[in-house]
Chains A and B, each alone.
Chain A
């Protein structure tokens, strides 16, 4: 079982719709969870971090964490073509808490 799993996509949504990106992780002791956006040919850019169960909102982005289900998600409201990118989920590993493991990413395509 991979430590951090994401559907590779592509996930296609029409402009203005809600995009829902999902991630599961294997280590129950993980405490920190991150979403990064990566445009083609560029480096990852931090969008959201979440540490507690529940929702965290920042503009059009909402991160959701459910530690019991070992599940973290990212919702993008009013999706724009400029949101088209690969979204990486990252989770810290408790044994070495500074070590962050990334998923393979979900490619999002927002169709105008």
Chain B
């Protein structure tokens, strides 16, 4: 079916506000990843879910960032007390992975701007 979808496509917020970014993976894909990409840089790993659990959250920069995937499908990345340095494109990817490293397919991203 459809590819990875992300909403919103753009989000402008003020410093200190709370934001939620949503990712809907490819149907049947068990693995889901969040990345952050700044201008001129490659995607930076944030967190990886296998099913409902966060298998690796070592890329989350601090405790203002949190992500959930309660039913093993849609995931939400939550950022509290946003800072201007959080401005970036947040990318979500999914893969059909069943235990080994596998190809990841990206959504269109959410451009977050913190004023």
Interface residues of A (CB under 8 A from B): 4, 8, 31-32, 34, 36, 42-46, 49, 88, 90, 92, 96-105
Contact of A88 among B33, B42, B100 (CB under 8 A): B42
B91 / chain A contacts, CB cutoff of 8 Å = 43-44
On whether the beta carbons of B42 and A102 are closer than 8 Å, the reply is yes
Query: Which residues of chain B from 34 to 65 have a CB within 8 Å of any chain A CB?
Result: 35, 40-45, 48, 50, 55-56, 58-59
B107 / chain A contacts, CB cutoff of 8 Å = 43
In the complex, what residue of chain A is closest to B3 when comparing beta carbons? A43
In the complex, what residue of chain A is closest to B50 when comparing beta carbons? A98
Could you tell me the distance in whole angstroms from the C-beta of A58 to the nearest C-beta in chain B? 13
A90 to B50: give the CA distance in the assembly, Å: 20
**Residues of B in contact, count (CB < 8 Å):** 28
On whether the beta carbons of A49 and B108 are closer than 8 Å, the reply is no
Instruction: Say yes or no: A97-B42 contact (C-beta < 8 A), given A43-B107, A43-B109.
Output: no
On whether the beta carbons of A96 and B56 are closer than 8 Å, the reply is yes
Contact of B40 among A36, A44, A46, A104 (CB under 8 A): A104
A101 to B48: give the CA distance in the assembly, Å: 12
Chain B 10-21 per-residue mask, 1 if CB under 8 angstroms from chain A, else 0? 000000000000
A101 / chain B contacts, CB cutoff of 8 Å = 45
B97 / chain A contacts, CB cutoff of 8 Å = 98
Which 6 residue pairs of A and B lie closest in terms of their CB atoms, listed nearest first? A102-B42, A32-B101, A43-B106, A92-B101, A96-B56, A102-B43
* B31 close to chain A: CB less than 8 A: yes
Instruction: Say yes or no: A103-B105 contact (C-beta < 8 A), given A98-B31, A98-B50.
Output: no
